[in-house]
Structure 1
């Protein structure tokens, strides 16, 4: 017994005639008759009897009609649940997010989405952007937040999220602290406190130093930006961080100087593996973010 058989059976019961039911369903009468006959054979009961040129339900037919109405209600609701994307949508997906991006941009986005879609659960996988890229490429997360680089694989789709400025962090007494702007080359004689190898920003800083003609010396490699700020505040190192980080972790003895070379901007993208199925819950989140992007700082 399937949905089509039940639909045919209910049409005959409601019309009281095979010919009228066939006309309502836009099928031939023999097709309808055969379908109902097969249903009776499958169930081993008689569903209709003829009286005054009408098809009337037997006791077994009445019981099937009552059950069929409930089944069709459930079926229609299931179809609607699949088609309609509303605030009652349920589901879950995995979001790859570094603590840095989370602290800077998702403090309002995640609660806002949860309020709009309370039945969707987001499982956050926290790691550096390098590893998030790897997880996206392997299909281990549904959506990632990363830096825009030429190392993203062909299987990875990306969408702009925000562009922010990078700044050099210097102690207030540093000779460069009063400059309006500096370049990475100006920092060639400094010791750096920067993110460790799990972060794309680490690679970008090192490559920028090499492009400027020097190999950087490291006072600290860490995943904690507050640790970097602390070293700079004690005049033990310099650092390069995105400007939004300093809005979360400012220090009175640390000056933030804009960079003007290849490290000028921090271009953040949303990434996903286009060869992997994206759950509807994740698509809703992607659409929500696209409507609530943080402003670019250009």
Structure 2
């Protein structure tokens, strides 16, 4: 079995079309077909079902594909690691983050890091909480910033970077807009603007409301933090939001009010796989995150 055969097999499997795979690979269709035939002959199984010009994986072909996908990732990581060890200051950091960290936390940390290591590149992936955890476990990304930091969970490790307050964001004409602080219970008659089901911040907020004896009315669900702020700005509801997302400015016609509910804080941390080592540039950024936010926390104190 040759690496070239695996490369051709993966391309055909993903495109389900030999001609399109050959065009992508920049070689003749006959060469692709011949390598696939040789691979099947060596394995003594049919990997594809031929349907005219299209192909699809057989059951054993699907199993073989999943193994080869993992093997290809190992080979690519090995290639990247060798290149980075030759020049670790020119590696690539593959990192994920949620919407609530897109505007300030991630840009601030990367900007500070790039002042020290200007040639390191970043591959950025935005997603929601559980999706990011699974992508780290699968190896699609190498690390992720999350809030809160997951508890004991198999296949991942992590470090807390800092903790932050969750505050209320209200329209400026809200009856409680002139308060210096409020309780979540004060908002039980209000319409909430929140993330959809499956987002961890949504769970934190709804769980807090349920513990206080009411189920929040949620007529608006959006996946983007700026959209949430925009709907509150338009007077369509209230929200509870990480204070760091308001650090640069408040949306027009809104007020930020601290919560007396002291437990409404969340930890922010970074996770990586416990089954794989970070590549040199990624490990450097991981350690930088811990030192960077530790300095900020000390300064705040």
Same-fold status (TM-score > 0.5): yes
Equivalent pair of 2:170/2:232 in contact (CA under 8 Å)? yes
Q: Deviations over 1:8-57 (max 9, x none)?
A: xxxxxxxxxxxxxxxxxxxxxxxxxxxxxxxxxxxxxxxxxxxxxxxxxx
Distance in 1 (CA, whole Å) between partners of 2:185 and 2:147 is 22
Report Cα offsets for 1:68-127 as digits up to 9, x if no partner. xxxxxxxxxxx9x84x9x8x6332231011232131212232133234223432211111
Q: Give the aligned partner of residue 289 of structure 1.
A: 289
Larger displacement relative to structure 2 (115-124 or 266-275): 115-124
Residues 90-169 of structure 1: pairs in structure 2 closer than 5 A: 90-149=90-149, 153-169=153-169
Rate the CA distance shift 1:97–1:269 in 2: closer, same or farther, 3 A.
same
- Equivalents in 2 of 1:279, 1:264: separation in Å? 35
Residue 267 of structure 1: how far off its partner (Å): 1.5
- Residue by residue over 1:195-249, the C-alpha shift from the partner in whole angstroms, topping out at 9 and shown as x without a partner, is 2234311111111111111111112111222222222223220111111212345
Secondary structure of 1:170's partner?
strand
Aligned mates of 2:275, 2:133 — CA distance in 1: 15
Equivalent position of 1:243 in the other structure:
243
Contact between 1:166 and 1:263, CA under 8 Å: does it hold in 2? Answer: no
The structure number with the bigger radius of gyration is 1
Q: CA RMSD in A?
A: 2.5
- Normalising by structure 2, what TM-score? 0.64
Structure 1: which 5+ runs fail to align?
1-78
> Does the C-alpha gap of structure 1 residues 246 and 108 become closer, same or farther in structure 2, counting only changes over 3 Å?
closer
3-state SS, counterpart of residue 89 of structure 2? coil
Match of 1:22? none
TM-fit CA distance, 1:274:
1.2
Stretch moving more, 242-251 or 198-207: 242-251
For the residues of structure 2 that align with 1:130 and 1:184, how far apart are their CA atoms?
26
Distance 1:111 1:246 in 2: 19
CA distance, structure 2, for counterparts of residue 94 and residue 262 of structure 1? 35
